Structure 1
Amino acid sequence: MGRPRTPLLDRARITATALELIDAQGEFSVPQIARRLGVQTGSVYHHVDGRDGIVELIRERVAQGIDSSALDLRPWDTALKAWARSYRAAFAAHPRAVPLLMTNPVRAPRVLAQYEAAVVLLLASGFALADVMPVIVALENIALGSALDLAAPEAMWELADETATPRLAEALAASAGNRADRAFEFALEGFLAHARRRLEA
């Protein structure tokens, strides 16, 4: 038999399969990937640097959805706002990947390049070196938390008896519709306002 025209296994197929598993069940294993692709587990390891290598391939795949050109915008707060919205949208497409990616060190060169661009932006805008990473991590926390929130039900509070929590019932009624989007914008504006004050100080 000759070789198949389309290879059974490559990094792109491994990444796509792992991401499908994560989207479905929140986790993946190399044997699961192999079974889905119809190959031996050992064959997968010929294409990737173990499980951690697959995690980084997933990170790169998800991060492709982030508009890194947003970091070229000026002024800095316009750039961070656009980057945060794009960041949130990219991870909202794969919310179950968030816990996995956030508990593994970032090694993917293309992802690190985005962080480099963010650091350069903040330093050029006058932020103290010691403040740069707290600003970036805080912005990530807002974007990733909201990405998870987008995957949650619109009605997160179920009141069996509204008379027991009447003010909560009123607040929920007053904020109905686009809960996650409104909360994200509220947090983002508050974060940027604090960052502006920090910069001015």
Structure 2
Amino acid sequence: MGRPRTPLIDRARITTAALELVDAKGEFSVVQIARKLGVQTGSLYHHVDGRDGIVELLRERVCEAIDASMFDASPWDAALAAWARSYRAAFAAHPRAIPLLMASPVRAPRVLEHYERAVGLLLDAGFALADVMRVIIALENLILGSALDLAAPEPMWELGDDQRDTPRLALALAAAPLGRADAAFELALGACLEGFRALVD
């Protein structure tokens, strides 16, 4: 039988299959991807560099949704805030990918380019070189934590019918606005930016 005119697998199909598995189960294996695509496991290795290569393809796929044009905006703090919101939305769409991606170093060239532009934005804004990665990592901690929070149930605290042991918590929860994850993210982002401005000043 001759070769099919359209390849059964390529890097894009492998990435899609892996991401579907991660979204459903929080994990993937090369065998599972091959089974999902209806090919032999060995066929995948003609297209990707094993499991680590697939992880980097996943990182690139998720990060494609981040709007890198934000780095061309000004002032720097508005650009950084817009990037943070776009970054959060991209990872909130695939929260189960976060632990997987955080367990391995970033190698994907297109993702490293995002970091290069973020570093350039901060250096051009006047940040000291020693502060640049601290700022980026602090912001990422906020972004990824909030992306996970978006996947959590909206009523995160269940007090039960008898609230005598937690009366102040009950009042605070009743007074909290809807969309707690968004409100908390904006509050924390504002606090971060205020701290970052102090570093430049």
Please give the alpha-carbon distance, in whole angstroms, between the structure 2 residues aligned to 1:165 and 1:38: 54
Does 1:112 pair with 2:112? yes
* Aligned residue runs from structure 1 range 83-94, under 5 A: 83-94=83-94
Q: What is the RMSD computed on CA atoms of the aligned residues? A: 0.7
Q: Which moved more, 1:58-67 or 1:1-10?
A: 1-10
Aligned to 1:6, the other structure's residue is in SS state coil
Offset at residue 45 of structure 1 (A): 1.1
3-state SS of 1:148 partner = helix
Aligned residue pairs: how many?
200
Shift of 1:10: 0.6
Q: Deviations over 1:28-82 (max 9, x none)?
A: 0000000111111111111101100000000000000000000111111001000
Equivalent-residue separation in structure 2 for 1:149 and 1:40 (angstroms): 38
Give unmatched runs, 5+ long, in structure 2.
none
Equivalence for 2:176? 175
Q: Secondary structure at the match of 1:141?
A: helix
Aligned counterpart, 2:8? 8
Q: Deviations over 1:75-100 (max 9, x none)?
A: 11001000000000000000000001
Which residue of the partner structure matches residue 50 of structure 1?
A: 50
Q: CA deviation at 1:5?
A: 2.5
Once residues 85 and 163 of structure 2 are traced to their aligned partners in structure 1, the CA distance between those partners, rounded to angstroms, is: 35
2-structure distance, mates of 1:173, 1:196? 34
Paired AA for residue 16 in structure 1: T
> Which amino acid in the other structure matches residue 22 of structure 2?
I
Q: Which residue identity does 1:96 align to in structure 2?
A: R
Aligned to 1:33: 33
1:19 paired residue number: 19
Question: Hey, what does 1:125 align to over in structure 2?
Answer: 125
Q: Normalising by the residue count of structure 2, what TM-score does the alignment of the two structures yield? A: 0.98
> Where does structure 1 lack aligned partners over 5 or more consecutive residues?
none
| Pairing of 1:151-170 with structure 2 (within 5 A) | 151-160=151-160, 161-170=162-171
Q: CA deviation at 1:2?
A: 2.8
C-alpha distance in structure 2 between counterparts of 1:165 and 1:6, whole Å? 62
Which residue is equivalent to 2:198? Answer: 197
**TM-score, length-normalised on structure 1?**
0.98
Hey, what's the Cα distance between the residues in 1 that align with 2:46 and 2:3? 18
Q: In structure 2, how many angstroms separate the alpha carbons of the residues matched to 1:74 and 1:118? A: 13
C-alpha separation between the residues in 2 aligned to 1:71 and 1:157? 38
Q: Quote the Cα distance in structure 1 between the aligned partners of 2:168 and 2:4.
A: 66
Kindly state the Cα deviation for residue 162 of structure 1 after the two structures are TM-superposed.
1.4
Aligned partner letter, 1:48: V
Measured in 2, the distance between the counterparts of 1:25 and 1:138 equals 28
Task: Report the identity percentage.
Answer: 73
Q: CA deviation at 1:154?
A: 0.3
Q: Deviations over 1:143-166 (max 9, x none)?
A: 111100000000100002212100
Deviation at 1:176, TM superposition (A): 3.8
Q: Which runs of 4+ in 1 moved over 2 A?
A: none
Q: Matched residues in 2 for 1:103 and 1:172: separation?
A: 34
